[in-house]
A and B are shown apart, each in its own frame.
Chain A
Amino acid sequence: MRRNLSVYLSENMDRLMRRDRFFFNNPVFLQGLGLAPVVVAAYNLHNALVLSLAAAILLTPTRVVAALLARRCYPRFRGPLYALTASVLYIGAWFCCRAVFGVGIQTVGIYLPLLVVEPIIIKRYERTKLERVPTALRKGLLTTAGFLLALLLVAAVRELLGTGTLLGHPVLGGAPLPMAQLTCGGFFVVGLLAALWRGMRNLFKRIVSMEANTK
């Protein structure tokens, strides 16, 4: 049973690595998308939750609506189309975030409105081939899940290292690495997590390949 699974995974590894946007091709750690909010604003879990809610509201609907509208749009204007769609949807996202977090949304500063031009949301316009609506929906949901996973993971690590707390509750009794709260610390943490992610992915590929080749 396990060997059959390994053979199946080994045969479909390339497709899996390309299509899975949650782990194997995570948009943040492997594709380098959505880095600005992750590196700067996600220095604690509260900020990450604000950004997560906004990204969850913006990402898939922008992709789906823009995929629909792009059919009637001249290819050169797809960039403005995606950015304007995200900006219009942002109005709703802002009211939702405001309703849930109140004035707490101010802690993420410009990184909340900046989501409207974040490549993770609007980068699809660069591809010449039009995206089908069901594909946009599926990829949008998967990308959202991958982005939220990375955002929350980075925020938890940075909060833990930077202040020794999680969601404001003391966990470590001290701050092991206060630099993790800064922009440079954000680059280091995301870089190291990306390396760890790649290492785990390579290890998984090697194990699957070994198991599939075992007689």
Chain B
Amino acid sequence: MTILRPVFTFFLYAILAVAAQNAIFSRALGVSRLVKMVEDGSVELFKFGLLLAIVQFFSSLLGYFVSHLLLQLDLSYKTAFLPLVLVLCSTVVFLLVLLAIALAGNRIAARDYLELLPMATFNCCIIGALLLTTTGGYTLLQTLGFALGSSVGYVLAVILVNEGQRKIQNRNLPAAFRGLPITLIYIGILALAIYGFTGHTPAI
């Protein structure tokens, strides 16, 4: 039971972040990026998702320890410095992943990953999840589970909206609604479905 309980906590928070607390449908974190990705269709989702998950997981790990150190300091206005601390954590992970890609070889694949890396790192989904876990007083396992779940939930949301595009972008739609407006309304319908499933939880 002592082994199973942490595993259970990790997966519970991961599932929570994928479904009930989905980054897009419950908090609109990274929705600007999602809309662009869906419109362009040029971003390779698997590579983007992989980078997002790696950066989010390790940023959360680093962010957890650094934010605990910050809380122990006798600073009056810690919240003013929190984004800088979290962006620094993401930057450290960004540099490590950059180094790992550069050392991995296979230049063609590496170029794709290098182009996607800044997009996957300096993203509202990553910093938003970091802010939620640090200000929400999550434990280490809860933080890691939530971080991994957030990135998986984000990628699933992109797939869901991408699939919906085939139905919603047709000729019968009035010209003013094509593109961004109908995509937002479609995300709104999905968000309403998630809201109906989870009940009222404050997004802020």
Interface residues of A (CB under 8 A from B): 29-30, 32-36, 39-41, 76, 78-80, 82-84, 86-88, 90-91, 94-95, 98, 107-111, 113-114, 116-120, 122, 125-126, 179, 182-188, 190-192, 194-196, 198-199, 202
Contact status B184-A118, CB under 8 Å: no
Kindly provide the distance from the CB of B196 to the nearest chain A CB, expressed in whole angstroms: 9
Q: List chain A residues, Cβ under 8 A from B128.
A: 36, 110, 114
How many pairs, one residue from A and one from B, have CB atoms within 8 Å of each other in the complex?
Answer: 174
**Contact of B30 (CB < 8 Å), options: A36, A95, A122:** A36
Give A41 to B124 CA distance when docked, in angstroms. 14
Q: List chain A residues, Cβ under 8 A from B31.
A: 35-36, 39
On chain B, the number of residues with a Cβ less than 8 Å from chain A's Cβ atoms is 60
Contact status A184-B192, CB under 8 Å: yes
| Complex A-B: 7 CB contacts under 8 Å | A32-B36, A82-B122, A113-B79, A125-B118, A126-B118, A182-B191, A187-B184
Q: Does B181 contact A (CB under 8 A)?
A: yes
Report the stretch among B5-13, B81-89, B146-154 that lies at the interface.
B81-89
Q: Which residue of chain A lies nearest to B184 when distances are taken between CB atoms in the complex?
A: A191
Q: Which of B70-106 contact A (CB under 8 A)?
A: 77, 79-84, 86-88, 90-91, 94-95, 98
Q: List chain B residues, Cβ under 8 A from A107.
A: 204
Give A199 to B39 CA distance when docked, in angstroms. 19
Contact status A183-B118, CB under 8 Å: no
Q: Which 6 A-B pairs have the closest CB atoms?
A: A187-B188, A79-B118, A191-B184, A109-B204, A199-B176, A195-B181
**Which residue among B174, B179, B180, B183 has the maximum number of chain A CB atoms within 10 Å of its CB?**
B180
Contact status A41-B204, CB under 8 Å: yes
Contact status B118-A182, CB under 8 Å: no
**Contact of A30 (CB < 8 Å), options: B87, B91, B180:** B180
**Contact of B195 (CB < 8 Å), options: A90, A91, A122, A184:** A184
Kindly provide the distance from the CB of B22 to the nearest chain A CB, expressed in whole angstroms: 10
Contact status A116-B87, CB under 8 Å: yes
Give A114 to B32 CA distance when docked, in angstroms. 13
Contact status B28-A119, CB under 8 Å: no
Give A120 to B124 CA distance when docked, in angstroms. 11
Kindly provide the distance from the CB of B169 to the nearest chain A CB, expressed in whole angstroms: 14
**Which residue among B87, B91, B182, B189 has the maximum number of chain A CB atoms within 10 Å of its CB?**
B87
Give A88 to B82 CA distance when docked, in angstroms. 10
Q: List chain B residues, Cβ under 8 A from A125.
A: 118, 122
7 further A-B pairs in the complex, CB-CB below 8 A; given A35-B32, A79-B117, A110-B131 = A36-B30, A36-B128, A80-B122, A84-B87, A119-B36, A184-B189, A184-B195
